[in-house]
Each structure stands twice: as structure tokens, then as C-alpha cells.
Structure 1
Amino acid sequence: MFIKRSFQIAFSAFIVLLLLNQALNQHLENLIAILLLLPALIASYSAIMHLDFVKKPAFLLVVTVLCTALNLLLLLYVALRFQINDVSDPLNVQIKATELLHGNQNWHSNFDGSQEYFYVYPNLVFFTILISKVMVFAQSVGLSIQLALRLMNFFLLAMVTIFTLLTSWRLSKNIRALASTAVILLFYPVMYLYPNMVTYTDTWAISCTTVVFYLVAVVLTSQRRLVIVGANLALILVYGLLYAIKPNMVILLPAVLSLIFMTFFLKMPEKWRVVLIAISLALGIVMATMTTKSLASSNGYSQSAQKKIALPTTHWINMGLNPFGSSGKGAYDSNDESLDIERKLEKKTYLTMDSIKDRLQMLGLAGWFKLALDKSQTLLGTPLFGFGRYASGYDQAPGYYLHHQVMLTTFFTIIATTTVLLVGGQLLIKVWQPYENQPITTNQRAFTYLIGLAAIGLTIFHTFIWEVEPRYFLPMLYPVITLIGMVGGVQRLPALKIVQLQVNVNWTKLLVWPIASILFLELTLSSAKSIPGIAYGNMEYPIRLEILQPVKAPVELRFSLPVPETVNVLKVNIRPEPGQRVSLSTGQQLIPRNGHYTLEKRFAANQNVEIFIHRDDTKTKRPLILYRQPPLYKQLFHGSSVTIDGQRYYLPYEMDIYDRKPFELLDVNNSPVLR
């Protein structure tokens, strides 16, 4: 009983932390709208469940099929129509994968002119090789590489939906639980998470984690030995792939080992199945370690160079203890990284350990816990919605979205947070009372324990020990928020029954909450329209290739910049110089301001803006900084180019849709660097 109660308390504390962080992260208007939506949805659900046809299996099956179909169509639409011009790490990976495709196996490429990117971050080598193999496959079947990567993202996102539903069915064998899971996934689809709109490790990690948990469910529930053996073999392969792509998911192994301890003390019949799962996970790590080293070496990656350049483990712990990180408390910090790279080169890595000791002493025990709580806000509370996560750099997006991206971001944030709070609240009740009359099955209990232990472990790891980023919890997010559908749905919760008794008294009361919710939601979304956003432009890409290059430019340069949507501000990101003028074809000059040239003017959609740059050789002494198009499979930059010394160069510029706030308030170039 002590072990069971300890888990219930710990998992409940995690759920409460998740719900509080989600709620407190919202603006006041959003939070009021959410608090109105919650009782409205509960009341509507209780009223709907009174209808006899809703309880029929045929109806629930139709709901499941429709929700799943809409979910998959939505994911496909987003994968094909929304694409962010990948920045930083994702772009590094794609450029190197393209080079591998063309036989260039030189991994010694400078990052920002100083560091060896893939030797500083060796965990990305396997993923880069994996993406290059996808590119090879695309060429072999006649697909363009960009279309292949988009379809790859769609299939990975679709796997999250499909395998979550399969897991729910495997554990419950109940159509109501399946329908409940399908509805949750429809209101909280994977497209809300911004890393899934770029080609990076997170999409693969979320998908592989979902498959891992499905295979765990098969091992826990199957009565056929052949199926159990096959599921464990598949588990070795899938978990090995997951570990190779996202090493922090090693947390699943100590979670399973803790579950073994619990099963023996609680005398659970699944204990030997859990032991098999633990063995499979351990073999997966061994297989991943051996395979990735061999694969990396065969693709020209030097293991000896990695030992010389790769940062020590203490680097990530040191950043995790930084209360003043450039990307947030305990998050990635460029100063810590630069210092640790220098310490590595000078063979003074002990200075990083000294920094850890100093920070622990400075924080003290109370400060350490306070920092962990602040980091939990980043890990569990920061919205992770692809819509609006990066305000610029869209390679492709519908015009309506560009015009209303802030309003739509607010809407998706409200819906997603409401879903998390509603599902999390029900899960909190089920932790203590899984069913009202019918006890939870033992394999469902074991599965719940495993998810709970892994979620708690991952949270502790990234809040108390390691550096933190919002996307680090993504692999465990969907198992947690869909747990209510996976392990239950047979009986309605006591809280819902209480509400049901109240709303049955008077149908008029049932309409009050939904109407009030819709009205306040409309007011909240309307207020969000006044916030400015970036429509278009050539972003600054902080990647290892020297895309920004100094150029000895001729006296006059001309660029033609497309205007896909009506905008109000044009900013040309070249530094002002004496004797240099930037103007439109009409002769109207852009104003030098804060290191760039700006013009506030309404530019109509579907036209080209002609930009002229005139440089007086007698006064301008420094070269012009322009973008150089790298040898990549997709076009990074918009607008016409100029050819200088046989190289094509593009103009750094941005366009702002709104004119209600000064352009300088936007902080686009300081978007968080993905790690």
C-alpha cells in the first residue's frame, strides 16, 4: 500500500504541476476564456451522454472513424501547406544531409567561423545520416527531396495518432475508450507542436515513443508467446532508434526498472513481462550505441575528433543551473557554450565543474528548488504550437493564416490548453479512483505506472539536473494527456456525474455557459488581432556555412522583392554606411535606423518592390553583407539575386503585415536556438 500511495502522490504532484504551468502560462484574457470553456464542455458532454443513441457502439465507432479521418487530413494539410524555413540546428542537419547525398563526407565544417558543429553536438550525427537516407530514397522513387521530407513528417505525425488509438484499444478493448482517445487527439493534434513543422529530431522522437508504448501494451496484454517475442524484438529496434535520435529518452529504462521493483512488492502478475520489457530496452540501447558508431564511421565521421571536441556532460548540467541563461532560466546559453568550448580546447574542463559548484553554492537549496520550479514552467507550461512559434521565415503558408496568425495562435492555444486541463483533471481523479465500480485491470495499472514513472523521471531530470527546453518533454506529452482514453472510458467519472445531475434540472442553464464561453472567446480573439506579426522575408540563418558574406559590391545594385500579402513596413537588413543610399524605384529613400533601413508604407499584395542600393566608392569603406545561396535542395531566400564574381547573392529583408505597433518592438532575430 505504501508503494502504491507513494506513486499516486508523486504522479498527482506531477499532474498538478503540469496543469498549473499550463494555466499560469496564459494571459488573463485567455485564462478567463479557458475557465469558461471548461464547465461549458463538461456540461455539454454530460447532456450529450444522456442521449440513448450516443451510447451505442455503432455511433461510437462512427465518432472514432470521423475524428481519426479529420485528424489525419488536418496533419496532411499542415505538412503540405505550412512549412517554416528551418533555422539553426534543423538547417544544419539538412545541409549536411544534402552534402552526404552528394558524397561529401567531410564533417569538419565551421559553425559561425569558429566551432566544429557536429563534433560539438555528436548526438545529431546519426539523425543527419538518417535524413540523408530519406533523401536517397526520395531520389530512387522519383520524388523531390522537399516533398519527401514533408511526407515523412506527415507519416510520423500520423503514426502518433494511429498508434495511440491502437494502444487505447489494446489496453481497454472498449469502443468508448477508443472514441474518447480519438476525440482528445482531434482537439490536441500533433500539429500544434512547433518542432513538427521543421525537419528535426522531435517529430521522430514523438512517433517512436508512441510506437514503443504500443509495443509495451502488446507485451503486457498478449496471451500468445509468439506475439510477445515478436513485440519484444520490435521493441529493441524501435527503442534503439528512439535512443539514437533522442538520448534523453533513456529515462524509459530506469522507469521500467522502478516498475519491476513495484510489481514484485505489489505482487502484480505482469512482473515477468515487465522484466522482458526492461531487457528489450537495455538491448535497444546497446544496439543503438554500436550501430550509430559504426554508421557514423562509415560516413566519414571521426570518433577520435569527437573525443577531442565534444563537450563534457558537465556542460549541460552547468547550463541547467544557470539562472540567467540567454534563452531562459536553466536553458541553452551561448556564453556557457562558448566558455566550455574554450575550456575543452585548452584542456581546462575542470573549470566547468568549478562553475557548477559555484552556482550550487550561490543558489543554495531553496534557490535550487526555485530554479527547478521556474524550469518546470519552460518544460511543462510554455506553449509549443507551430502556428506562430516563429513569426517569420515561412516557406509556404496560406495567406489567411499570415494575416491572422496571432489570432489563430491564440485560438489554438486556448483550445489546446483547455484540452490539457480537462483531460489532466480527469486523469488526476482516475489516479485515485480509476473506476467507480469496476476495478482497473492489472495490465492497465502497470501501463499507467510506467507512463507516470517516465513522466516524473523526465521532469525531474530536466528541472533539477539538465538544461531545459520546452520540446524536451514532447515524447511523453501525448502518452500523458491520452492516458485517460488509453486505460479507461468505460465508466463516467464521479465529477461528471455530479455535473450531469445539476444540468438535467434545467436545460436553460445548460446554454448559459456555452454562450458565455463563445462570447468571451470572441472578445479574446478580437483583442489578439492588434498584435503585429512578420509576414515574409529572408531571415538570418545562424548556421555553420557562411551564408552571410561580405561582398565588394558595385556602385549600384538592384533587387526585386515579392510581396505575397499586403504589408505596411519594409526593413532592409544591411548596415547604414556614409555614402550609401537605399531607395525604391520611385526614388523614395529608406530611413537608416538601428543598424538597418526602414520604410513604413503600404505595399499591396501580388506585386514586386524594386530596391536600389547606391554606394559611393569614395565614402563607403566596408563591404556589403549579403546572403549567399548554399548548395541546398530547397530555396532559402526570396526575391531576385545579383551575381558578383560568379556567385549569386540575396538581400536580407523583412516585411511586416501590421502597422499598429513600431516594427522595432519585434524580436525576430533573437528567436531561441534549437538544441
Structure 2
Amino acid sequence: MTRKLLIGFNWLAAGVLSIVLLLAALMPTDFFNKEDWAKPVILIVTALGFLLILNAIKKACQNISARTYRYWLYGIAGLILIAQVWVAVHFIDATRADVYFVRNQAIALAQGSHRWTYYFKVYPNNVNSALLESVFIKLLLGMGIKAPWMILNLLRFAWIDTGLLSGLVLLKHWQHWRPSGLLLMLTWLLSIPVYSYGVFPYNDALVMPLALNVAALGWLFVNKHGWQRWLAGVGTWLLLAMGYVMKSNLVVLIIAVLLTVGLMVVLDKTRWRLAVEWLVGSVVTLGLITMLMTTAAKHNGYVKDPELATPVTSWIAMSLNPDTQGQYHGADFYPIRNTKTQAAKKKMAAESIKSRVEQMGPLGLVDHFYQKLGVFYSHGDFDAINLIAQWLKAPSRYILHQRHYKFWALLLTQSWYLALLIGSIWQLFTQRKHLISTAMLSLVLLGLTAFHVLIWEVEPRYALPLLPIIMLLGCEGWSTMPALALNFKRRLAVSWVLMLGALVGMLNLMQMSKKVTVNQISIAMQGNGAYFTPNTLGVKTRDHFVVQLHGEQSNQLVLHTKSKNRVTIVVKHQGSVLKRVTGQAEKVQQINYPAVHAKQLNVTIINHGKTPALYGSGLLHFSNDTGAITKKPRMTMQWNVNRVFKPKNPTQKIKLTPNKSIAAMTGLFLVLVLVSIWYRPADELNQRKRV
């Protein structure tokens, strides 16, 4: 009976992913739509092409020596290392929104300040993130490193890669190491979310690998003895506690592990005494870590204010807004935040919950949960494509062509995600061995899905801890699927179908690229200070600041103000005046100037009014140019610099992506697919000769 229960968990998870597969393949544009999407038929054809390529890789892995296979793994591991180091060095996030507050506070703590901003009174859940980051910043500052962001990127990648190592341990245990180990490493190498979240300085990267880490350490705890067993046990305790104190939604991971331990005792997979010892250790560790973080917060000057903190019910109320698909919405959040007492906040949230549930009714709620499921799961990039809008450092080629790169990254990532979902569904429906570890992963998947879809606010990045699970199950599913064996006529038929699909897809992409007009490119920005508690910088008579551009061509500067004062704005490059405008501040906040390749612009604002002209600004603890941490924070003007396209001939348009790129990508994809279809390993050829 218990074995059937484990299989039932896997089937239920497979059922959820089956719905997700339909949403991700047929209607990703219905949810959280900020991207340039190819049509569903292109996504599906590309995913099928990937499955054919993976089928050929699987055949190849089965027909090489163990030594050669090992060399292949070393080669992919080397590529992963090179790619991650390159990204960590060349992409430095400038932080926005919540990350901005966490980084500023972490720097302040590292420099000895015990003052906490109002943000953390309202969002106490991010206090631990600031404390943890401050430890690393303080250590690196003590080593004389004033701009530690590249090193923190490398550390973040190293931590994320523990998920890959844990996945490889599980695949080795599941006895499908070949080819599933190579396929998982290949998936990791090609995963856009791994790279995006590797340079995103928030706690998402911290929790991303936890489910696989706990599963792998749990297997070692059960199957090893002596010091190895208890080292693995302590590892699980620390990871579970750390995950919970950093992101409270990972209580579902703790629940999933506790259920798994109970099922193992019932199935006689482990001794009840060992299970009790592990349980006691995990409870004690969770209590100690929680107490440690609370003490650290108090030691660093943080004091909770119950009247300012937003109640749990406010997030539930926000999640029930049918107009926003349950996503964060300022119009829901700010009225509750601005209410003075905790009792009044709870009352307002409760009334909102009640009215929305009554308004939607049973059928409306079901439809709303369906919408939230789509937001949570339907995008295979997990919002990685649009995760970072403001960079301290990024390659010029990426900045100038970022919409082009994002389009291709999204198309390929979504198609690979579809292939992973197919593999995961297959594995969950057919798994009959190693049910304990698989069921634990299924419980995590079901728990986190239920938490965000049924209860909490939803965003694609909240599903990030589930991505490594889908990667692992998908690669294992690809390995256990029956190999596709085609005779000559079927190979020919499949080849013609894929060639026709590629041709139709290429023409469709060319037509889409022609219709999508790129009117402007964001070259650089300083947008900090606009979120949560908007800041302003008062220009009394004159203010001068420098805009760093690193050589990219631009022709527009945008400032942010609602001031009615009469001002003059002068934009200079290398001492020459590019543009001088005079007028009411809010009407001359967009300044167009002749296109110029500039490493920096010098901007002067002259206020002709009797009162200060207020401009949007942000308080920064680091240089917006070099990223170096400054001794004191300084107020920095908000600005955007763009390259605006105004072709002389109205019929000329800047395309989303050039036709030659579409043709080249289609040709490369088609070659790989056709080679995969017609590839026949040596043993298959020998078998045919014997016949």
C-alpha cells in the first residue's frame, strides 16, 4: 500500500507537469508576457528536434568505451567552468528593487553601521539575506577588495553547481549514469536560468539547488556508515535550516523530507531509531540556526516593528487579484502597508480576501488558480530573460543587441524546457525503482506548487527551486525512454517532415521579425530609488553629474521629475555641448541629442526657480561606474540613456533579428537534426549486416 502511495505522488506530480507542458507549449504568451515569443508550432518543432538530437546522443553514449564517456564528461565540465567564469567576469548586476535594498544594507552592515532602512521594517523576511551578504562583503573588504561583485558572482555559480553535483550523485545511484550524467551536464551548460541567476545577487540562487542537495545527502545518510553518514546528516540539517531562514516558502521542503522519512520507516528502508536521531538533529539545528540569525539581527541593530510589518494575509489577498494573475501588485500592497496599525492591516487584508473569494466564486477561483499555475510554470526561462535590467558591467555587443539575444535565448530555452517536461513526465509515470528519492522530489514539486498557486503571491522565479528537479527527472526520462529505431523509409519521412517544419518556421520567424519594430535600445540606466520609498534630489541652483556609457552609441537622455520649475539642462561630450534645453522641468526631462559614441556624458542642471527642482534619485553605497564600495553613501540622480532609431525612410525598420541570423540558426538546427536522424552506431550497422 505504501509503495502505491509513492507511485501515486509521482503520478500526481506527472499530472501537474502534463498540464504545464500544454501551457508552456501552446499558450506561454497568456501569462506574464514581457517577451518576443515565437509561435507555438515553432516551439514544438524545435522541441521535437531536440528530442531527436538527444536520441542520437543516447545512442552514441551506449556505443563508446567508459573511458571515452568519462572524457566527454570532463570536456563538458570544462565548458561549464569556462562559460560560468566568463559570465561572472563580464556581467555585473547594478541591483534593482529588493536587491538594491539588500545590497545597500549589506554594505552598511559590513562598514559597521547598525541603522536599518524602513524597507526592512516592512519586509523582515529579507533581513537574513542582508546579514548573510554582509558577511562576505566584510570579508572581501578586509582583503582590500573594494568591488567584490565579480567574486560574489563566482561564489554564487559555485553554490548553484552543487545542485549539478548532487544530481550526478543521484543519477549514479539510479544506475542510469550513462547517458543521463552527460545529458544533465549538457542541460546545465545550456541553461539560461543558471547563468542569469548566477549573476543575480539575491537569495534565489541560494535556494535553487537545495532540493537536489538534500536528496543526495539523504541518500548518503541512509546508505553510508560512521562519520560519512553523520557528515551527510549534518549537511541535510544545515541545508534545510538555511533554506527556511532565507526563504520561508521552503517550509515545503522540510515537510516533504519529513514525510519521506516517515515513509522510509514504514517501508522498512531505514531503522526507526536512525530516523528519530535524524529528526531530533534536524529540529535542534533548525532551532539553533533560527536563533543564530535572530541574535545576529539584534546584534546588528535590527528591531522588529509589529505595527509596520505587513501581515501574512496581505500577500494572500494580493494573490487573489484576478486582474494580475496573482502577481505582486503595488495597488494591492501600498494601501495595506500605509495603514497605521497591525490590526487595521490585518482587517483590510481579511476584507480583501473575503470580497475577492465571493466575487470569483468556485469556478472563478479554479480559473484564477489555472492562471497562477501558468505564471508559475509556463516560462522555461523562469523569468531569467528579464531578470536584470540595469548593469554595472556588460559587453557592449550584448547591450546593443540584447533584444536579439533575448529572443533566441527564449526560443531555445523554452523548447529545451518542453523536452525536459516530456522526459520528466515519462520518468514520473514509469518510475518503479528508487521510489523514495523520486517521491521526495515529487512532494517538493507538489508542495511548492500548491503553496504559490493556491495560497501565496506568484512569480516565475519562485518556481526556480523546481528547475533542477525537472532537469534531473527530464534527463533520467530521456535515458529510460525507448530508443527511436527507424528504418530507411521512416528516416526519410521524418527528415522531410522536419525539413518542411524548419522551412515554415524560418519563414514565420522572418515575417515576425519584420513586424516587430525595435524603436529604441536601453544603453544604460540608474533607476535605483524609484521603488518602495521613492527618493528625490533637490537641485537648488545647479547640479552636475556624469553618465557612464562605456562607448556605446546613444542619442537620448531621460531624467525623472514632476517639478514645474524652469530649468536649463546642458549635455556635454568631451567638452562640446551636444544639447542645451530650457523649459519647465517635467517637460524637458527627455533630451534628444546627436548620436555619439561616448564613454561618458557630462550633464548640468540649472534651476531658474526660487524653490529646489526635485529629481528622482537613489542612495547608493557604491560607485555606479566602477562598482567600488564608497566610504559614505551618496544620492545619485536617476537617468536613462537610450539609442532611439529614427530612420529617414519610414519603410526602413530595425528588425527584431536579422534574416541572416534566422537562416543561419535554422540551417544549424536542421543539420544537427538530420545528422541525428541518420546517425547509426557501429553495433546497429553490424547487426544489420548479420541480418
Distance 1:186 1:332, change over 3 A: same
Distance 1:648 1:453, change over 3 A: closer
> 2:477 and 2:275 mapped to 1: Cα distance?
21
Instruction: State the match for 1:332 in structure 2.
Output: 328
Distance 1:626 1:35, change over 3 A: closer
**Secondary structure at 1:535's aligned position in 2?**
strand
Q: Return the offset for 1:293.
A: 1.6
2:153 corresponds to 1:166: no
1:450 aligned to which of 440, 446, 470: 440
- Cα contact 1:260–1:275 (8 A) shared by 2: no
**Secondary structure at 2:75's aligned position in 1?**
helix
2:202 aligned to which of 188, 192, 200: 200
The one-letter amino acid of 2:171's match is: S
**Secondary structure at 1:549's aligned position in 2?**
strand
Q: Return the offset for 1:131.
A: 0.9
2:46 corresponds to 1:56: no
2:239 corresponds to 1:238: yes
- Cα contact 2:319–2:457 (8 A) shared by 1: yes
Instruction: State the match for 1:420 in structure 2.
Output: 417
Distance 1:659 1:392, change over 3 A: farther
Instruction: State the match for 1:670 in structure 2.
Output: none
- Cα contact 2:563–2:613 (8 A) shared by 1: no
- Cα contact 1:562–1:638 (8 A) shared by 2: no
Instruction: State the match for 2:607 in structure 1.
Output: 615
- Cα contact 2:317–2:352 (8 A) shared by 1: yes
**Secondary structure at 2:624's aligned position in 1?**
coil
2:641 aligned to which of 647, 650, 655: 655
2:558 aligned to which of 571, 577, 585: 571
Instruction: State the match for 1:581 in structure 2.
Output: 568
Q: Return the offset for 1:466.
A: 1.2
- Cα contact 1:332–1:467 (8 A) shared by 2: yes
2:13 corresponds to 1:16: no
> 2:316 and 2:401 mapped to 1: Cα distance?
40
Distance 1:147 1:15, change over 3 A: same
Distance 1:180 1:151, change over 3 A: closer
1:3 aligned to which of 2, 5, 17: 5
2:463 corresponds to 1:467: no
> 1:37 and 1:376 mapped to 2: Cα distance?
24
> 2:428 and 2:488 mapped to 1: Cα distance?
26
**Secondary structure at 1:319's aligned position in 2?**
helix
1:501 aligned to which of 479, 483, 486: 486
- Cα contact 2:618–2:635 (8 A) shared by 1: yes
> 1:660 and 1:429 mapped to 2: Cα distance?
51
Deviations 1:410-436 (A, max 9, x none): 1111222122211211221222223xx
Distance 1:574 1:217, change over 3 A: same
The one-letter amino acid of 1:410's match is: F
**Secondary structure at 1:310's aligned position in 2?**
coil
Q: Return the offset for 1:87.
A: 0.9
Instruction: State the match for 2:292 in structure 1.
Output: 291
Distance 1:575 1:603, change over 3 A: farther
Instruction: State the match for 2:320 in structure 1.
Output: 321
- Cα contact 2:193–2:381 (8 A) shared by 1: no
> 2:546 and 2:291 mapped to 1: Cα distance?
51
- After superposition, residues 417-566 of structure 1 pair within 5 angstroms as 417-434=414-431, 440-441=432-433, 444-485=434-475, 492-494=480-482, 497=483, 499-501=484-486, 505-506=490-491, 509-510=494-495, 513=498, 517=502, 520=505, 524=509, 527-528=512-513, 530-531=517-518, 532-542=520-530, 547-554=535-542, 562=549, 564-566=551-553
Q: Return the offset for 1:568.
A: 4.1
2:357 aligned to which of 351, 357, 360: 360
> 2:429 and 2:275 mapped to 1: Cα distance?
23
- Cα contact 1:411–1:525 (8 A) shared by 2: no
> 2:480 and 2:564 mapped to 1: Cα distance?
70
Instruction: State the match for 1:347 in structure 2.
Output: 343
The TM-score normalised by the length of structure 1 is 0.82
Q: Return the offset for 1:82.
A: 1.0
Q: Return the offset for 1:148.
A: 3.4
> 2:242 and 2:492 mapped to 1: Cα distance?
53
**Secondary structure at 1:347's aligned position in 2?**
helix
- After superposition, residues 66-465 of structure 1 pair within 5 angstroms as 66-107=75-116, 109=117, 116-144=118-146, 145-172=148-175, 174-188=177-191, 190-193=193-196, 195-220=197-222, 222-260=223-261, 262-263=263-264, 267=267, 269-270=269-270, 272=272, 281-302=282-303, 305-324=304-323, 328-343=324-339, 345=341, 347-348=343-344, 349-382=346-379, 384=381, 388-389=385-386, 392-434=389-431, 440-441=432-433, 444-465=434-455
> 1:330 and 1:53 mapped to 2: Cα distance?
46
> 2:229 and 2:507 mapped to 1: Cα distance?
52
**Secondary structure at 1:322's aligned position in 2?**
coil
- Cα contact 1:590–1:597 (8 A) shared by 2: no
> 1:502 and 1:593 mapped to 2: Cα distance?
73
Distance 1:660 1:474, change over 3 A: farther
Q: Return the offset for 1:447.
A: 0.8
Tell me the number of residue pairs that the alignment of Structure 1 and Structure 2 aligns: 624
**Secondary structure at 2:523's aligned position in 1?**
strand
Of residues 525-534 and 29-38 in structure 1, the stretch that sits farther from structure 2 once superposed is 525-534
**Secondary structure at 1:451's aligned position in 2?**
helix
> 1:648 and 1:254 mapped to 2: Cα distance?
45
> 2:559 and 2:367 mapped to 1: Cα distance?
43
Q: Return the offset for 1:42.
A: 2.6
- Cα contact 1:322–1:359 (8 A) shared by 2: yes
Q: Return the offset for 1:123.
A: 1.8
- Cα contact 2:618–2:636 (8 A) shared by 1: yes
- Cα contact 2:546–2:600 (8 A) shared by 1: no
Q: Return the offset for 1:547.
A: 4.8
> 2:131 and 2:271 mapped to 1: Cα distance?
38
> 1:253 and 1:544 mapped to 2: Cα distance?
32
- Cα contact 1:572–1:598 (8 A) shared by 2: yes
> 1:399 and 1:582 mapped to 2: Cα distance?
27
Deviations 1:323-373 (A, max 9, x none): 23xxx3222232333333344526323332232222221121111111111
Q: Return the offset for 1:98.
A: 1.4
> 1:140 and 1:125 mapped to 2: Cα distance?
22
Q: Return the offset for 1:278.
A: 5.2
The one-letter amino acid of 1:475's match is: P
Where structure 1 has 5 or more consecutive residues not aligned to the other structure, the ranges are 110-115, 435-439, 640-645, 663-675
Where structure 2 has 5 or more consecutive residues not aligned to the other structure, the ranges are 30-35, 572-576, 651-691
Instruction: State the match for 2:623 in structure 1.
Output: 635
CA RMSD in angstroms comes to: 3.5
> 1:512 and 1:173 mapped to 2: Cα distance?
32
The one-letter amino acid of 2:401's match is: H
The one-letter amino acid of 2:232's match is: A
The one-letter amino acid of 1:398's match is: P
> 1:204 and 1:214 mapped to 2: Cα distance?
17
Of residues 271-280 and 356-365 in structure 1, the stretch that sits farther from structure 2 once superposed is 271-280
**Secondary structure at 1:127's aligned position in 2?**
helix
Q: Return the offset for 1:626.
A: 5.5
> 2:587 and 2:199 mapped to 1: Cα distance?
31
Q: Return the offset for 1:236.
A: 0.9
